Amino acid sequence: MIEVRGLTKRYGDKLAVDNLTFAVEPGKVTGFLGPNGAGKSTTMRLILGLDRPTSGEAMVHGKQYQALGYPMREMGALLEAKAVHGGRSAYNHLLCLAQTNDIPKRRVDEVLGLVGLTEVAKKRSKGFSLGMSQRLGIAAALLGDPQVLMFDEPVNGLDPEGIRWIRNLMQALAAEGRTVFVSSHLMSEMENTAQDIIVIGRGKLIAQTTIDKFIAENSTGTVKVRTPQAEALAKAVAAAGGSATTSGADALVIQGLSTDQVGDVAFDTGIRLHELSQTRASLEQAFMELTADSVEYHATVQGSGQTAVPAGGRHAAGHAAPDGPPPQITNAPPPPQDTESTSEHAGRTS
């Protein structure tokens, strides 16, 4: 259980987190969504007590993080994968963390096995790939067998197998009754993983809801119809209060009417239907619509493969201008970790 009340963080004249209030419940995966620079990482740092809130408070199990008896046994966190001393072996990295929280040595070997790093346990972590570093960070988070887990962009830089592994892990942890709080700037990642989502933009809470409700409330569902009498159906739909646009020779996309209503209209007017289906708006689309106004830096160069990077090298890939073509976010390569952290830093200080 994580509770955040009126949490606010100001860096200079920039409000990074603006009066956030939300609760993360145990037993499910809660996605923490927002564009880059929305304040997700800052919120997580405030929850961990790494940064001091300007006002408000963040509680884990009803206590501030600093007041937890053995913090790693109650809450595990993965912030940046590279928050390790590269000259230290994976084993010694985990060992020094375990010792602080009176966690036995054999648990270090166990979590190394769990994340698949046993073979490189004695190797210095500076030679690790980003994926291996992520696994090491997850091993650290699981070290204390905590009831609350928090991951900041955990699938960054992972291959498809690694992404599937993390999804399964998060769902398994939630199924055991743990609180799992995971941030991402990619909606598509959350669609199959999270049950609840918290959406922020420019440090402000935009929504806290379930995935299904979020889509239903924030996007207009459409009905797809194929019919040999497209023109006639379009008129009938208009008469019934909907609007239809043609898409191809015999297909219509209808807004403003449900599938039931469209079927009834067709029946009443004697129009033959070959297909009648609901097109569910994707989470990605709902998110883009909702946060269009709160994306801090829009990419200004479209389709050149080169995104404009204003204000201190912020990583702007994946942010399209609101009226631009929808970007292929799901296919975009994950940004390199160092760019990511630089952008977070820029977000804090600019």
Partner 1 sequence: MTAVTTDQSHLSTLPPAQGRANLLGTLRSEITKIRSVRSTYWTMIVLFVVTVGISALITWLTASHWDQASLSQRATFQPARNSLIGLYFGQFVIVVLGALTFTAEYSTGMIRTSLTAMPRRGVFYLAKALVFAVAALIIGEVASFVAFFLGQALLNTAPEHISTTLGAPHVLRAVVGGGLFIVACGLLAFGIGSLVRHTAAAISITIGVLFVVPIIVNFLPTSWSNDIMRWLPSEGGTAIWNTAQQAHEWPAWGEFSVLLGYTAAVLIAGYILFRRRDA
Q: What does DSSP assign to residue 97?
A: H
3-state secondary structure string across the chain: CEEEEEEEEEECCEEEEEEEEEEECCCCEEEEECCCCCCHHHHHHHHCCCCCCCEEEEEECCECHHHCCCHHHHEEEECCCCCCCCCCEHHHHHHHHHHHCCCCHHHHHHHHHHCCCHHHCCCEHHHCCHHHHHHHHHHHHHCCCCCEEEEECCCCCCCHHHHHHHHHHHHHHHHCCCEEEEEECCHHHHHCCCCEEEEEECCEEEEEEEHHHHHHHHCCCEEEEECCCHHHHHHHHHHCCCEEEECCCCEEEEECCCHHHHHHHHHHHCCCCCEEEEECCCHHHHHHHHHCCCCCCCCCCCCCCCCCCHHHHCCCCCCCCCCCCCCCHHHCCCCCHHHHHHHHHHHHHC
DSSP of 133-144? HHHHHHHHHHTT
CB of 16 to partner 1, least distance (A): 11
CB of 223 to partner 1, least distance (A): 39
CB of 67 to partner 1, least distance (A): 9
Whichever of 125 and 227 has its CB closer to partner 1, that residue is 125
For 212, half-sphere exposure in the C-beta direction (CA atoms, 13 angstrom radius) is 1
Whichever of 3 and 11 has its CB closer to partner 1, that residue is 11
CB of 314 to partner 1, least distance (A): 19
Whichever of 231 and 338 has its CB closer to partner 1, that residue is 338
CB of 292 to partner 1, least distance (A): 31
Whichever of 87 and 270 has its CB closer to partner 1, that residue is 87
CB of 283 to partner 1, least distance (A): 23
Whichever of 82 and 315 has its CB closer to partner 1, that residue is 82
Whichever of 119 and 323 has its CB closer to partner 1, that residue is 119
SS3 93: helix
Whichever of 52 and 304 has its CB closer to partner 1, that residue is 52
Q: Which residues bind partner 1 (CB under 8 A)?
A: 45, 48-52, 65-66, 68-73, 77, 79-80, 82-89, 92, 95-97, 99-104, 106-107, 110-111, 113-116, 118-119, 132, 140, 144-145, 161, 165, 168-169, 172, 176, 341
Whichever of 97 and 288 has its CB closer to partner 1, that residue is 97
